[in-house]
Amino acid sequence: MKHITRGVARLPGLTAASAVIALLCGNASAQTINATQLQDLEQRASAAQAKMVAWRRDIHQHPELSGQEVRTAKLVAEHLRKLGMEVKTGVGGTGVVGLLKGGLPGDRVVALRADMDALPVKENTGLPFASTAIGRNFGKDTPVMHACGHDGHVAILMGVAEMLAGMRAQIPGTVKFIFQPAEEGRSEHPRHEEEPFGAKAMIAEGVLDNPKVDAIYGLHLAPGPAAGSVGYRVGPMMAGADGFSIKVTGRQTHGSRPWDGVDPITASAQIVNGLNTIVSRQLDITAVPTVVSIGAINGGNRENIIPDTVDMLGTLRTFDTKLREDAKKRITHTATTIADASGAKAEVKFTAVSYPPTVNPAELSKQAVPVLQASTGGKAIQIPLVSGSEDFSDFQLKVPGFFFILGAPPKGRAPAPNHSPQFDFDEDAMPVGAKALAALALDRLAQPN
């Protein structure tokens, strides 16, 4: 995931949204799972906790970069096969899919998803099971760490698989377990730029079909909200992410005679300032925010040589599809016209790392929110918009999908944000997440068609 929020607070001016959520939470008729089932799930989650901790620590010690999750996939596939599931491997690269067919009649198919990849980050947690792994990231050796909780996601879903497999006789319909590679992007150069990865690759290979998925659920560990609670939003929840590059081309000359050439460094500085005005002066952000950031600028190699070119890398974060397309057009227009005014040229490209906004649809949320409240003992809370991104959103474009945050600030240490070399989480949160996912699946399967 591309960064996730640390804190949780209610946003001002959201009375309408709060009213909708209150209505959803109070809609007991939407909930079919009962107290006996919830107690059964509680016992099964507690019984699986030691296994989840062991799986998490094993995966944490052996992290694998995006698209390279061979060992993790093997661990998952072996576990699902032991549970008697139909298992497919190599889906969308290293993805694993397990199919649990319930013992009761039912046409619905519910999918649960976990992402498996780690990050090119050198761990600095001091944990006894800390990673010392080295991986290959775009042709370079790099330390590798599970700095975003995906080790926990895998362990939680393995736990859910064990819980629901033990309840097979009580389940109407089918549960599809999706263990996804490459949520964080790529770690190797593709054969061609448009080659899909992550959720897109699994979708392209039919993960949501045969049998066709009715709804999909997922979660993400984070330092907030509080331990034992979950955070959610109805409607836009996490930002869409669009990476982009800008190549500014001028004409090289001596640093003492800039008039003999065209300075791409000055043009680039003006472009950065211009991009900052897109959000502050051009877009209507009264409904949802937008972020445009430049994260890298590279150009030149001596103090007295004005170079031919400057390369920039940036990211766009939006919560609305129309606003997203408008912002992309403005980024291109701003960069090209400012460069042209300087006598330079700018080429703007949006990269294949492109995630739509994560949006929880109202109808599915109507079913999911009461179940989250029931399965957590009322510890499901509304959270602010999250400016980080998740390719779970690609699944949501195809079928109804609901995503939530599992609060797990670590014990005995200050919480570190996702993607930090000090990131860790409270392993006691894993049974909470497992119970919530299992409850969502059972409740959805029991809904009338």
Which residue is catalytic, options 64, 123, 355, 390?
Answer: 355
Contacts of 424 (CB under 8 A, 6+ apart): 125, 127, 410, 413, 416
Across the chain, which distance is largest between two alpha carbons, in Å? 81
Helix (H, G, I), strand (E, B) or coil at 368: helix
C-alpha distances in Å from residue 438, one per residue of 264, 367, 369, 412 = 55, 14, 14, 29
Which residue is catalytic, options 42, 188, 347, 427?
Answer: 427
Partners of 306 in the β-ladder: 253
Sign of CA dihedral 21, 23, 26, 27: negative
C-alpha distances in Å from residue 163, one per residue of 46, 62, 85, 107, 331 = 10, 25, 13, 21, 48
C-alpha distances in Å from residue 319, one per residue of 16, 225, 383 = 18, 21, 15
User: Does 355 participate in catalysis according to the annotation?
Assistant: yes
Calculate helix-pair angle for 35-61, 70-82, nearest 10 degrees. Answer: 140
Nearest to 125 by CA among 101, 151, 100, 107: 151
Contacts of 22 (CB under 8 A, 6+ apart): none
- Give the number of other Cβ atoms within 10 Å of residue 189's Cβ: 10
User: Does 427 participate in catalysis according to the annotation?
Assistant: yes
Contacts of 94 (CB under 8 A, 6+ apart): 67, 68, 69, 70, 72, 73, 116, 181
Parallel/antiparallel/unpaired status of strands 345-355 and 240-249 = antiparallel
The rounded distance, in Å, linking the Cα atoms of 276 and 243 is 16
Contacts of 247 (CB under 8 A, 6+ apart): 309, 310, 311, 312, 346, 347, 349
- Active-site positions read 355, 427
